[in-house]
Structure 1
Amino acid sequence: TSVLEAPSAALEPAVVLAVQISTDLEEPNEPTTADLVRRRNKIKKIHKWFGITTWALTTLTVASGFVQYYNQYGWYQSQSTNPCVTGNAWPTQNQCSGTPTGHLTLSVLAGAAFFTTFGLSFAMPDPLGVSEGDSKFAKRLRAHKALRWVTFAGFIAQIALGLVTANSEWFGLDRANNYKTLRAIATAHLTVGFVTWGSLTAQGALMVF
């Protein structure tokens, strides 16, 4: 060896390990297409069952809301002729006063299930672009995605209208003096409920048929 050559530096194993760890931290491995497809399939299964649960709970919520509406307002009847006043509330007169606990519980559960389903739809990666193109499935999936915004808006509106309907006194409204106003709000609440249920049903049908 020439005396002019610098001796080669011997690196300690700990130094080599530290450099390797630093490199790994600086350059994380990107998930492969296969990884993303596996992730999508896992989330899709959860999304599907949350969607079915949301539909079932929403159906029960709308049904219980319809009963509540009928008891308090009949077929858009007057203050003196609705079932609660005439003693014909179904299934009992207990539906005419107090907090509608059953309907409230169902609405909270339906909302929780929907917003979870909604969030999962954004968590699913689409590395293969299955929602793109002109295939029948791609078109159905795009329609499914578009309808989720209709359903989302419906749930938000339902929460707002339900809050006013169930707590009218907070807003200075009562059945004795503001019957027609409350009836109009309740009618809007029920109508939005049916529209939301219809949108949700269409979303499910697009993925089933």
Structure 2
Amino acid sequence: MATLTALMLATPLFGLSLQIDAAMLEAPSAAIEPSVLLAVEVSTDLGEPSQPTTADLVRKRNKIKRIHKIFGLATWALTTVTVASGMVQYYNQYGWFQSQSTNPCVQGTAWPNQDQCSGAPTGHLALSATTAAVFFTTWGLSFAMPDPLGVSEGDSQFARRLRAHKILRWVTFAGFVAQIALGVVAANSEWFGLDRANNYKTLRAIATAHLTVGWVTWGALTAQGALMIF
């Protein structure tokens, strides 16, 4: 590079003309082997998720069905105990349509003791809450079961039973909701401006409705189970 610079400076002094090939000033290009290039292919096609087969849905149905049956039996057993507990509570506070002055709580003959006559019915409330939780779980599981084979369709005996079973689940659902609403009023009458001293007949009517709905719900639940077991 120093020699080239000297020639460029000295050439005009001697009347000479220096011609430089431009190619000489260009740096040689580096040759890159294709083998060293990395090609990364990114695919954005995620594809459609595979749909469950009929066999998959049948297996899912059978699995949920077993759990549903266990919860259904538990719901029936708990409902039976809860209704029985409600009958005891009703008898102690109101007798069998007895007056305000002759019911067992006033007469001192409440069963199993007089503790049932004042305050919130803790035992009955605990049973009711547990029963409701198990029932609503059972009810939800009934909707989670797929029916890929349409077993509830047609005119077979099983299909008719299953359709009746599905109709009754709405009866039991309505019954549980009504019981909860009536139970809240009966157990917390002071929230609604009601007391046994001044509103005895009103509270007795609410308690009677609560117990009646309980029996109807228990009957519908029993029919549901009988349709699937027998």
Name the structure 2 match of 1:170: 191
Mapping for residues 94-105 of structure 1, pairs under 5 Å: 94-105=115-126
Give the number of aligned pairs: 194
Name the structure 2 match of 1:203: 224
The whole-number CA distance in structure 1 between the counterparts of 2:73 and 2:38 is 60
Name the structure 1 match of 2:213: 192
With normalisation by structure 1, the TM-score equals 0.90
**Residue of structure 2 aligned with 1:134, choices 146, 155, 158:** 155
The whole-number CA distance in structure 2 between the counterparts of 1:84 and 1:43 is 46
The whole-number CA distance in structure 2 between the counterparts of 1:167 and 1:85 is 20
TM-fit CA distance, 1:98: 1.2
Name the structure 2 match of 1:55: 76
With normalisation by structure 2, the TM-score equals 0.82
TM-fit CA distance, 1:100: 0.8
* RMSD, matched Cα: 1.3
TM-fit CA distance, 1:23: 3.3
Secondary structure class of the residue paired with 1:23: coil
Name the structure 2 match of 1:3: none
Amino acid at match of 2:62: N
Mapping for residues 94-133 of structure 1, pairs under 5 Å: 94-133=115-154
Amino acid at match of 1:110: T
The whole-number CA distance in structure 1 between the counterparts of 2:123 and 2:70 is 23
Secondary structure class of the residue paired with 1:134: coil
Write out per-residue CA displacement over residues 142-192 of structure 1, whole angstroms, 9 at most, x where no aligned residue: 000000000000000000000000000000000000000000000000000
TM-fit CA distance, 1:99: 1.2
**Residue of structure 2 aligned with 1:183, choices 204, 221, 228:** 204
The whole-number CA distance in structure 2 between the counterparts of 1:83 and 1:136 is 49
The whole-number CA distance in structure 1 between the counterparts of 2:38 and 2:166 is 56
Name the structure 2 match of 1:159: 180
Say if 1:133 and 1:11 are closer, same or farther in 2 by CA, change over 3 A.
Answer: farther
TM-fit CA distance, 1:11: 9.7
Q: Which runs of 5+ in 2 are unaligned?
A: 1-36
Mapping for residues 60-99 of structure 1, pairs under 5 Å: 60-99=81-120
The farther-off stretch of 172-181 and 93-102 is: 93-102
Amino acid at match of 2:156: S
**Residue of structure 1 aligned with 2:45, choices 23, 37, 40:** 23
The whole-number CA distance in structure 1 between the counterparts of 2:56 and 2:168 is 28
**Residue of structure 1 aligned with 2:57, choices 33, 36, 47:** 36
The whole-number CA distance in structure 2 between the counterparts of 1:43 and 1:135 is 23
Secondary structure class of the residue paired with 1:78: coil
The whole-number CA distance in structure 2 between the counterparts of 1:76 and 1:162 is 19
The whole-number CA distance in structure 2 between the counterparts of 1:120 and 1:114 is 10
* Shift >6 Å, 4+ stretches: none
Write out per-residue CA displacement over residues 78-101 of structure 1, whole angstroms, 9 at most, x where no aligned residue: 000000000111111111111111
Amino acid at match of 1:133: G
The whole-number CA distance in structure 2 between the counterparts of 1:190 and 1:35 is 44
The whole-number CA distance in structure 2 between the counterparts of 1:110 and 1:200 is 12
The whole-number CA distance in structure 2 between the counterparts of 1:180 and 1:99 is 19
